[in-house]
Amino acid sequence: MKKRRSPWAPLYLTLVLILMYLPIVVVVLYSFNANTSRFPTAFTGFSLTHYQALLRDTRGLLDALWNSLILAACSCGISMVIGTLGAIGMAGRRFRGQGAIETMALLPIMVPEIILGMAFLAVFTAVGLRFGMLTLVLAHVTFCTPYIFIVVKGRLAGMDASLAEASRDLGASAARTFFEITLPLILPGVLSGVMLAFAMSLDDFVISFFVTGATTTTLPLKIYSSVRTGVSLQVNALCSLMLAFVAIVMALKQLVVDRHRG
Amino acid sequence: MQENENRTEPRGERRRGASSALLSTPMIVWTLLFVGATIVYIVALSFLKRSPDGFGVLPEFTLENYAKLFNANYARVFWNTIVLGLETTALCVLIGYPFGYFMGRATKRWRTVLMLLVIVPFWTNALIRVYGWRILLVGNGPINQALMALGLIERPLQLLNTRGAVLLGMVYALLPFMILPTYTSVEKMDWSLVDAGRDMGARPWKVFLTVTLPLTAPGLLTGCVLVFVPSLALFFMSDLLGGPSDLLIGNLVQDQLFTSRDWPFAAALSVLLLLITCLIMFIYRRLGGKATDMSVF
């Protein structure tokens, strides 16, 4: 089939992509801004001063990043176990009320985040939990699990169920079948689910805003408060570094994939 | 166990299925506790009286939290939020649909590159991207300076802290949620139908309206839900880009929780948001949308 190509397509795609990247480019550019005032809106010259200040962590940004990474790692670890087991247990139709449970399990990623944030604030207060890392992890696990659940469930649906059955029929135990047949088959799904959940946890602002304590701050919360109260361009410096890191990881991944394909 | 006897499958098989269903126990317990019970709690809270000192609630049933929603000020915030959400969705369709369409028509190599380009911004924090817009829009920022240098304006325009800026931020943040489902449905489409239409002599726009659009409608529908629903709650957009009159439901909830300390009313607002979301999901399902399509990444 001969594809008809519109001459407008590349132009349009480029234009939208430029708009998409414009604010990001500006953030990176301003990380090299010599301006050190409280509301640095003008570009006054090139300098690395914000990177140096960032490394000394004068604004507690690295501390917040560290908290965010710990939070994401804990939440994803717990969600990975709960969500993967959940997806295996709920593959196909297994028990009465399963549909209702699945709908309820997906609610956290379907409804506007503020509902969950508000509700957790109220419930955790009523139960008397101390707000901090614990409440953050509980909340994050709740919205990370559905992402992993969906991805793994999709992977299981595409899997040949007779493989696990054959293993059982040949006398392997349920545990052995799980570790030697099911797990290797769904592992790519588990990993991509975990990556997605990790990104969502790292990026979450709305829910964290409601369930954080006075002393625990995550990176998005830190960015929010510093944008409101007068920005330090250290925020730009940190985000530029993170972006560079992601770009390098993506490029490496692409290289590996290309090599595999020959 | 009684049930097992009635089934035609061999007992061993059934038991095997039941034991692996047990694996989902942690997820079921977590869901019932942190989603089910939590929602029940805020629904209950929304029917309780606020204690006079503002710290806590009285165990008295009342409907006044819901009656308060009809207060003109609150109703206006609700209306603003819905209108802004609809405008955001419309703009995302106008910008995102052609993007997803062209992306789905690109060669395989370009599709991978474009996909990557659409997703990478997601790896920077949403707040940082909003902050990037703040730098661009501010009075003596790059956009105003460029316009003045070009001689198009004499004095800087008020771009930041306007309703337009909030709309821009929303469209910008939610656009990928329109692009990705559209792209998926265009990519899956059977193009021989379009060719057939063209071969029969139909004009391109007619083929588009009668073949392409209906076939990609599921992606478009999913995109609309994925854009509209979150738009209802992005309160930081109006905080960071809007002016004082650009309040959204989200800001109202935040204000009721932390400033006015009227938790039952905040709960009533959340319940209302929840009902709106459920209504949208219900319509989405009735129109043939699938829940699994909602995860676009």
Q: Is the pLDDT of residue B143 over 60?
A: yes
Q: Is A3 exposed, middle or buried (0-12, 13-18, 19+ CB in 10 A)?
A: exposed
- Best mutation target among A115, A131, A147 (most B Cβ atoms within 10 Å) is A115
Q: Is the pLDDT of residue A245 over 90?
A: no
Residue B174 to residue B90: CA distance in whole angstroms: 12
- Alpha-carbon torsion (A231, A236, A239, A241), positive or negative: negative
Pick the closest to residue B165 from B143, B192, B184 (CA basis).
Answer: B143
CATH number of A61-220: 1.10.3720.10
Tokens of B171: 């469209």
A15 vs chain B: nearest CA distance in angstroms?
A: 10
Residue B232 to residue B242: CA distance in whole angstroms: 15
Q: In this structure, is residue B180 part of a structural domain?
A: yes
Considering only alpha carbons, which residue of chain A is nearest residue B265? A118
Residue A48 to residue A96: CA distance in whole angstroms: 62
- Residues of chain A neighbouring B294 (CB-CB closer than 8 A): 106, 109-110
Each residue of A109-161: pLDDT tens digit? 889 999 999 999 999 999 999 999 999 999 999 999 999 999 999 888 887 77
- Residues of chain A neighbouring B126 (CB-CB closer than 8 A): 203, 205, 220
Quick one: DSSP state of residue A33?
B
ipTM summary value: 0.87
- Amino acid A96: pLDDT: 85
Based on DSSP, count helices (H) and strands (E) in chain B, helices before strands.
16, 2
Each residue of A188-224: pLDDT tens digit? 889 989 988 998 899 899 999 999 988 889 999 998 8
Q: Is A85 on the interface with B (CB under 8 A)?
A: yes
Sequence-separated (6 or more) residues with CB below 8 Å from residue B14: B4, B7
B240/A228 Cβ within 8 A: yes
Tokens of B6: 């009635």
Q: Is B1 on the interface with A (CB under 8 A)?
A: no
A174/B19 Cβ within 8 A: yes
* Domain at B288, CATH number: 1.10.3720.10
- Amino acid B50: pLDDT: 86
Q: In this structure, is residue B152 part of a structural domain?
A: yes
For A222-235, give the DSSP string. Answer: HHHHHHHH---THH
Based on DSSP, count helices (H) and strands (E) in chain A, helices before strands.
12, 0
Considering only alpha carbons, which residue of chain B is nearest residue A149? B27
**Cα-trace Rg, chain B:** 25
- Residues of chain A neighbouring B257 (CB-CB closer than 8 A): 118, 121, 210
One-letter identity of residue B105:
R
- Best mutation target among B111, B159, B295 (most A Cβ atoms within 10 Å) is B295
Q: In which domain, by residue range, is B271 found? A: 71-294
How many domains are contained in chain B? 1
Residue B49 to residue B262: CA distance in whole angstroms: 9
Tokens of A128: 């008397």
Q: Is the pLDDT of residue A4 over 90?
A: no
Query: Within a 10 A sphere around the Cβ of B87, how many other Cβ atoms?
Result: 16
For B124-152, give the DSSP string. Answer: S-HHHHHHHHHHHHSTTSHHHHHHHHTTS
Confidence of residue B66 (pLDDT cuts 50, 70, 90): very high
One-letter identity of residue A109:
I
- Amino acid B55: pLDDT: 66
Q: In this structure, is residue B96 part of a structural domain?
A: yes
For chain A, domain boundaries: 61-220
Residue A201 to residue A199: CA distance in whole angstroms: 5
Q: Cα dist. B148→A42, B18, B153, B156, B157 in Å? A: 15, 71, 5, 7, 10
